[in-house]
Amino acid sequence: MLAAGMGSRYGGLKQLDGLGPNGETIMDYSIYDAIEAGFGKVVWVIRKDFEEQFRTQILSKYEDKIPCELCFQGLDALPEGFSVPEGRVKPWGTNHAVLMGKDVIKEPFCVINCDDFYNRDAFKVIGKFLADLPDGATNQYAMVGFRVGNTLSENGTVARGICSKDENENLTTVVERTEIVRCAEDGSNAGAAAEPIRYKDEEGKWVVVDDNTPVSMNMWGFTPDYFEHSEAYFKEFLSDPKNMENLKAEFFIPLMVNKLINEKTATVKVLDTTSKWFGVTYAADREGTVARIQQLVDEGVYPAKLF
């Protein structure tokens, strides 16, 4: 569970924001769904500076429910021979965060964000894939492909990995698009239900994308050999002068995945889900998220008190 981000657009530590009827966080619901789907351990990647708050407010709830581990993502967690560039304050990205778990993860595992509400079907889909892998399987990965129309915010643009797949449902490319929203051709009328979904490309043009296009919500399924690939490629990433000069360059999961796919080192199955994502990308999303969680409780999907 990736929880090292500050939540800059939201304006606070949204991973610790109580949104359920008894103060449950979004990650509480993710863990509840993961346990229901058969997962047997939770590993969090957090920043060292909020360890105490995390242990008190979050970890204590789970200690008698499921085995738990904490790992820490820091700027100086680099391979031998590399150092943090002067002036660098931004974390190294999602795949660097995943790497922090290499010493405590020895089994097939799922990676998720702590501030995204994925819904139970998504956990069942990825859980089944991982459980069905043969013992000792390597280089057979998966990604839950949410339909982009099920992942938007009513309050602004969102960042998603736009995916393409082949006839065997294997991922062929994933391209991070940082501005996706329903809008007019010129970017106006943002959020209007009558408008098509568009993303802004590298040239600043708005490109239409179908509502059912699969997107990555950072819900990945890997086996432990993924760490070896990531360690090797992170050294390449850090050896590239432009990545060291750019103090905001990040080592994203899609960057690693695309390399493995292009080199035909691994396959990544795109798993379809009808789950509707919701979350708190923006502070204005909070009210709607609270209401949607309460609706799920009222419908009996979740108990009023999870843990």
For range 43-71, the mean pLDDT:
87
Two tokens at 37? 């789907």
Contact by Cβ (8 Å): 39, 110: yes
Confidence of residue 13 (pLDDT cuts 50, 70, 90): low
Q: Which residues contact 58 (CB under 8 A, 6 or more apart)?
A: 16, 25, 27, 44
Two tokens at 96? 């660097």
> Average pLDDT of the chain?
91
Residue whose entry in the numeric block shows the structure tokens 């979004």 = 26
- CA 143/CA 85 separation, integer angstroms: 33
**Total-model pTM:** 0.88
Residue whose entry in the numeric block shows the structure tokens 């379809």 = 272
Two tokens at 169? 């449902």
How many C-beta neighbours within 10 Å does residue 230 have?
Answer: 23
Share of the chain above pLDDT 70, in %: 96
The mean-pLDDT minimum among 62-66, 108-112, 198-202, 223-227 falls in 62-66
Listed residue (24, 40, 63) closest to 301, CA to CA: 24
* pLDDT tens by residue, 129-155: 999 999 999 999 999 999 999 999 888
Whether the pLDDT of residue 5 is over 90: the answer is no
- CA 234/CA 183 separation, integer angstroms: 37
Whether the pLDDT of residue 96 is over 60: the answer is yes
Kind and range of the H or E element at 58? none
For range 260-288, the mean pLDDT:
89
Please state the φ and ψ torsions of residue 129, each to the nearest 5 degrees.
-60, -50
Confidence of residue 253 (pLDDT cuts 50, 70, 90): very high
The mean-pLDDT minimum among 10-19, 180-189, 271-280, 284-293 falls in 10-19
Kind and range of the H or E element at 175? strand 171-182
